[in-house]
Chains A and B, each alone.
Chain A
């Protein structure tokens, strides 16, 4: 068990490789209750979100979800978030565990500055969150709910019951696999967890810890706040220009992001594959001769693709696909190559 933002969390149950493979081929179950939830309600809730996040939340229908970021005036990340539209004037932001207090303070102070009619609640203690991920996720969950799961598209959610417990069922995840994230009251989380384990037993379901969650998300090319980006990296530099609502009116950081989009950023987060038998990890330096020019932000050996891969923050000159990176791994240089993202894309049903 490790301390993760004040939560005691398992790094692994049966082993990272075993858990990773379960999610890629069957189902895995991950307790992600550490994620924070912040709700905004009121006539000016949308306006507040529009001003403080980079994606265009006005495009969300009720029941729809969007990947976005809370941005600083410099266009960098306060956090990366999911925005849920719960009702007409009611939204929920799902935020990272370690950043929940910071995000809530940031939202509160900026909402107060704007002076609109919006109420903010840090609702994190009201929700446990269980992620059921893998090709058999829908089949397993359908036995425990009357909600028509086939009607929930990717990045949409529905409310109903799971194992007779009131739940919000969200077709989202952090693994690159099909699956659901299920919000329930903390007091009932254990019941739902056990029911899912039982229902998944015939598919050899595996509980998954933080370790597999990290290798899965990296294989899928998903960023981790605090590793791959933070308050020093802009949304464009992180390679996430697609989560910017370029057409929407002003928001915090818009000016810098627009300038970077027009002129090109000086740095970029890129995906790489090792060309030698070595694993580059978070914090290792990208070198040009004797100068440090960049940094590995995430890196591991992936259990499914069986390759050493990672993400690195590099100067734009080193960012084109095929560029060779020279990485200092504990004093030894090893070569890597910039590759297209994501590393892994799940096969679409025919």
Chain B
């Protein structure tokens, strides 16, 4: 269910770490709790975010939730497709990345959960 290629946070986000960038999205569990996503508000490219800081909001028909940066760094990209098709987050949550961050403190990633730990968390 939860890909081992991703890292996870207690706030139900996933992080895909590449050499230079970290893509961020929300987990299948999170999209299931939210229900039909209708709107995502994301930061501007270039913004500096700190680990744990709110970087945007995600709204479903029934509720609005805040998105928290899983690691510190600069926002290098924002997924343009989600503005038009936010429902992709429900359809394929682990592919629908929201932002990419260039980490400023790569060591922060060590504290993220692996797939097993995350699966245990949501049990």
Which residues on the A side are within 8 Å of B62 (C-beta)? 11-12, 16, 211, 300
Name the contact of B38 in the complex, choosing from A11, A211, A281, A301 (C-beta under 8 A).
A301
Query: B2 on the interface (CB 8 Å rule)?
Result: no
Which residues on the A side are within 8 Å of B41 (C-beta)? 278
Query: A59 on the interface (CB 8 Å rule)?
Result: no
Name the contact of B61 in the complex, choosing from A277, A278, A303, A330 (C-beta under 8 A).
A303
Nearest-neighbor residue (CB-CB) of A300 within chain B: B61
Tell me the bound Cα distance from A104 to B87 in angstroms: 45
Tell me the bound Cα distance from A11 to B60 in angstroms: 13
Tell me the bound Cα distance from A303 to B39 in angstroms: 12
Query: B43 on the interface (CB 8 Å rule)?
Result: no
Contact present for A281 and B64 (CB under 8 Å): yes
Contact present for B35 and A301 (CB under 8 Å): no
Which residues on the B side are within 8 Å of A277 (C-beta)? 39, 83
Nearest-neighbor residue (CB-CB) of A302 within chain B: B61
Nearest-neighbor residue (CB-CB) of A215 within chain B: B61
Contact present for A17 and B36 (CB under 8 Å): yes
Which residues on the B side are within 8 Å of A111 (C-beta)? none
Q: Do most interface residues of chain B lie in helix, strand or loop, or is the interface mixed? A: strand
Task: Give the residues from 279 to 303 in chain A that come closer than 8 angstroms, CB to CB, to chain B.
Answer: 279, 281, 300-301, 303
Q: When each residue 289-319 of chain A gets 1 if its CB lies under 8 Å from chain B and 0 otherwise, what string results?
A: 0000000000011010000000000000000
Which residues on the A side are within 8 Å of B36 (C-beta)? 15-17, 303
Contact present for B64 and A12 (CB under 8 Å): no
Query: B57 on the interface (CB 8 Å rule)?
Result: yes
Taking the closest CB of chain A, its distance from the CB of B63, in whole angstroms, is 9
Q: When each residue 57-99 of chain B gets 1 if its CB lies under 8 Å from chain A and 0 otherwise, what string results?
A: 1011110100000000000000000010000000000000000
Q: When each residue 29-70 of chain B gets 1 if its CB lies under 8 Å from chain A and 0 otherwise, what string results?
A: 000000110110100000000000000010111101000000
Which residues on the B side are within 8 Å of A16 (C-beta)? 35-36, 60-62
Contact present for B35 and A12 (CB under 8 Å): yes
Taking the closest CB of chain A, its distance from the CB of B67, in whole angstroms, is 13
Tell me the bound Cα distance from A192 to B41 in angstroms: 44
Nearest-neighbor residue (CB-CB) of A301 within chain B: B38
Tell me the bound Cα distance from A178 to B61 in angstroms: 23
Quick one: given A211-B62, A279-B64, A281-B64, are A15 and B35 in contact (CB under 8 Å)? yes
Which residues on the A side are within 8 Å of B60 (C-beta)? 16
Tell me the bound Cα distance from A270 to B57 in angstroms: 27
Tell me the bound Cα distance from A300 to B39 in angstroms: 11
Which residues on the A side are within 8 Å of B64 (C-beta)? 279, 281, 330
Taking the closest CB of chain B, its distance from the CB of A94, in whole angstroms, is 25
Name the contact of B35 in the complex, choosing from A211, A279, A281, A330 (C-beta under 8 A).
A211
Nearest-neighbor residue (CB-CB) of A18 within chain B: B36
Given contact pairs A17-B61, A301-B39, enumerate 17 new A-B contacts (beta carbons under 8 Å): A11-B35, A11-B62, A12-B35, A16-B36, A16-B60, A16-B61, A211-B35, A278-B41, A279-B38, A279-B39, A300-B61, A300-B62, A301-B38, A301-B59, A301-B61, A303-B36, A303-B61
Seen from chain B, the residues whose Cβ lies within 8 Å of a Cβ on chain A are 35-36, 38-39, 41, 57, 59-62, 64, 83
| 5 nearest A-B residue pairs (beta carbon) | A301-B38, A17-B36, A16-B61, A211-B62, A279-B59
A-B contact pairs, 16 of them (CB 8 A): A12-B62, A15-B36, A16-B61, A17-B36, A211-B35, A215-B61, A277-B83, A279-B38, A279-B39, A279-B64, A281-B64, A300-B61, A301-B38, A301-B39, A303-B61, A330-B64
